[in-house]
């Protein structure tokens, strides 16, 4: 259903701090032209914690409009408030998103049974495919393979974005849930190892700044050209690291600013990256052949 390189999109801001709709839609056009197979607005990289609900919905609408059916829009729709997640997921369905990306609720620390009921309630309320986003480093709670196997029995729970960095997990998921369940990596640095364990794509931070390289890497893997995949993996490796030297998405927004695609501004409590990190990002982009 979904595969290859799918950027978790940045949200460009205007000089006065608002949503830069023109820059955002031009960015999506560029991503599609460079080979990205889908786009994910309002994920973590889109700074959803500091977007208002109205801004969140507007960004999804802008993404659907810009994509215009050329690639699927997987709209970020999660919250640690089930009612808010239902609101966002319902909105994504109404405006034409292809799927919703729904994060494991953060801060509340729900049990596995509570997680099941949270996702089941969203599934039952909307007619849109749902990808569950597991990112324990940000949510504290880790959804287990056993809970995912229960949820995968529901027809509209179609996949997972896994940012646990547990490379044994995709193989366990494949064994317990089946080969048709859509497993997407949420960790650029280990995405190709994830592929070898059963993954089919990556919802990527790095693809914001290097969409063509990320897309070509996945195409090489799918074609069985391991030498080409490895060469691209090695070109991208330093960039994966540099983009997480400080809190994401501040480094990747700086990287995109170097390409003239968006300004570097992020919303507090995030701030523009320090000079040493800027130099590291620049060096990694030179290594990748992007500058």
Tell me: the pLDDT tens digits for 85-122? 999 999 999 999 999 999 999 999 999 999 999 999 99
242 domain residue, yes or no: no
**Alpha helix stretches (DSSP H) within the chain:** 21-33, 53-67, 82-95, 112-125, 136-139, 145-152, 169-177, 191-196, 211-222, 226-242, 250-258, 275-288
The yes-or-no answer on residue 271 being catalytic is: no
25 domain residue, yes or no: yes
Q: Which tokens is 242 given? A: 């540099």
* Other CB atoms within 10 A of residue 105 CB: 22
129 domain residue, yes or no: yes
277 domain residue, yes or no: no
Judge contact between 228 and 218, C-beta under 8 A.
Answer: no
The yes-or-no answer on residue 261 being catalytic is: no
Judge contact between 73 and 61, C-beta under 8 A.
Answer: no
Active site residue: 106, 109, 116, 161, which one?
161
Q: Is the pLDDT of residue 1 over 90?
A: no
The share of the chain scoring above pLDDT 90, in percent, equals 100
Tell me: the pLDDT tens digits for 159-188? 999 999 999 999 999 999 999 999 999 999
268 domain residue, yes or no: no
Give the H/E segment covering residue 80.
Answer: none
82 domain residue, yes or no: yes
For residue 12, give the CATH number of its domain. 3.20.20.70
| 252 three-state secondary structure | helix
Q: Which of 290, 272, 218, 260 has its CA nearest to residue 27?
A: 260
For 218, the domain range is 4-234
263 domain residue, yes or no: no
Active site residue: 133, 253, 254, 278, which one?
133
Q: What is the pTM of this model?
A: 0.97
Tally of domains within the chain: 1
| 149 three-state secondary structure | helix
Q: To which residue do tokens 């940000």 refer?
A: 138
Q: What CA dihedral angle connects 245, 258, 252 and 226, to 10 degrees?
A: -90
């Amino acid at each position: 259903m979904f595969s290859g390189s799918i950027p978790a999109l940045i949200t460009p801001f205007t000089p006065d701090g608002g949503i830069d709709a023109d820059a955002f839609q031009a960015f999506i056009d560029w991503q599609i032209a460079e080979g990205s197979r889908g786009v994910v607005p309002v994920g973590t990289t889109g700074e959803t914690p500091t977007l208002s609900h109205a801004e969140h919905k507007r960004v999804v609408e802008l993404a659907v409009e810009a994509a215009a059916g050329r690639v699927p829009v997987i709209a970020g729709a999660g919250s640690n408030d089930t009612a808010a997640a239902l609101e966002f997921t319902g909105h994504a369905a109404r405006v034409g998103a292809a799927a919703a990306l729904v994060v494991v609720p953060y801060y509340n620390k729900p049990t596995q049974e509570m997680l099941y009921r949270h996702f089941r309630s969203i599934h039952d309320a909307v007619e849109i495919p749902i990808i569950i986003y597991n990112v324990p480093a940000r949510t504290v709670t880790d959804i287990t393979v056993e809970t995912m196997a229960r949820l995968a029995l529901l027809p509209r729970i179609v996949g997972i974005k896994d940012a646990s960095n547990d490379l044994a997990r995709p193989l366990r998921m494949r064994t317990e849930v089946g080969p048709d369940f859509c497993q997407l990596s949420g960790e650029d640095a280990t995405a190709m190892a994830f592929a070898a364990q059963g993954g089919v794509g990556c919802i990527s931070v790095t693809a914001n700044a290097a969409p063509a390289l990320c897309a070509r890497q996945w195409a090489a893997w799918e074609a069985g050209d391991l030498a080409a995949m490895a060469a691209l993996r090695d070109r991208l490796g330093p960039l994966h690291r540099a983009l997480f030297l400080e809190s994401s998405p501040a480094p990747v927004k700086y990287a995109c600013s170097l390409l003239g695609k968006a300004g570097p501004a992020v919303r507090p409590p995030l701030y523009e990256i320090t000079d040493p990190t800027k130099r590291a990002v620049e060096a990694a982009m030179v290594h990748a052949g992007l500058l």
